[in-house]
Chain A
Amino acid sequence: MSEREKLLRKLSGAMFAAFEMQLYLDTHKHDTEAFKSFKEYLAIAKKCKEEYVERFGPLTANDIYGDTRYEWLNAPWPWDNSKEAYK
């Protein structure tokens, strides 16, 4: 697994955990433990996202921190097989 894939997996894991808490909070909005957990996962995701964007390019078209040119169109796109996109 490439460094990009490893970091993307870590980011996706944190975002997924945060999203799972979000759905739970939609039906349990007074659960303070769940809200605490939601915030913790969001903080991990934020950190991973910053590192990912800096090293491998934008996740949204607005992620242009420090870029001198438009990087949004660079491969790979999410539906590409990551093993093949970097051949």
Chain B
Amino acid sequence: MWQYQKKLQYPINIKTPNAALAKVITSQYGGPDGELGASLRYLSQRFSMPYPELQGLLTDIGTEELAHLEMIGAIVYQLTRNLSIDEIKKSGFDSYFVDHTTGIYPASAAGVPFTAAYIQSKGDLITDLHEDLAAEQKARTTYDNILRLCDDPDVRDAIKFLRQREVVHYQRFGEARQTKWNDYGGAADKTA
């Protein structure tokens, strides 16, 4: 089970609302390489992991991804406060606004609702760890793209923190894969 801590993993205090930026960043909430998919991927894969090290790693990283989901939600929320209808129209945020007002909804920047098809849980240690390594790099690239599109220092600061966490998770998954590859011998029938 989980217990909620009434704090963000890293503080978010955005001074200037920016609806166009919110629309882009919402992709890391419910888009193809976002934090919702990340948390569901790891927290689902861990059940069939055969080693305690991997069960622990997926539990702990999956839990951290929930904290990142909350950070992205806070960024989008703070970027969309006190907007005038004129700003909503001019920024292109109107296509989000018409369906969700300024509620936080898991969808990609292009408006595609979150789907479990973004993730995989294959019940195979090697397959799942490679999925996870790829997922961390895809999320890292998305954060790089957000940094290319964003010049607000308050937002960049938080996005840079999140980007760096993808790099650390990739490192840990890589260590787990290297350690377990020999034990497992690549044979899917050994522990199934």
Contacts and interface: CB of A to CB of B under 8 A. Distances in A.
Interface stretch (B5-13, B86-94, B105-113): B5-13
A27 B57 contact: yes
Q: Mostly helix, strand, loop or mixed at chain B's interface? A: helix
A20 B60 CA distance: 10
B113 to A, nearest CB: 22
The 5 nearest A-B residue pairs measured at CB = A79-B74, A27-B175, A26-B57, A78-B8, A26-B56
Contacts, number: 71
Contact of A8 (B4, B11, B73, B168): B11
24 contacts: A11-B7, A12-B7, A12-B10, A22-B60, A23-B57, A23-B168, A23-B172, A26-B53, A26-B172, A26-B176, A27-B57, A27-B172, A29-B53, A59-B5, A59-B7, A60-B5, A61-B4, A72-B6, A77-B6, A79-B8, A79-B73, A79-B78, A81-B78, A83-B15
Q: Is the interface of A mostly helix, strand, loop or mixed?
A: helix
B6 A59 contact: yes
Given A27-B172, A27-B179, A78-B6, A9 B11 contact: yes
Nearest to B154: A81
B119 to A, nearest CB: 20
Given A58-B6, A59-B7, A78 B168 contact: no
A78 B60 contact: no
Interface in A15-34: 16, 19-20, 22-24, 26-29
A79 B53 contact: no
B77 interface: yes
A31 B53 CA distance: 14
B7 A16 contact: no
B3 interface: yes
B66 interface: no
Contact of A5 (B3, B11, B70): B11
Interface string A50-67: 000000001111100000
A84 to B, nearest CB: 9
A78 B73 CA distance: 11
B64 interface: yes
B132 to A, nearest CB: 13
A81 B16 CA distance: 11
Interface string B148-192: 000000000000000000001100100110010000000000000
Contacts of A61: 4
B98 to A, nearest CB: 23
A4 to B, nearest CB: 11
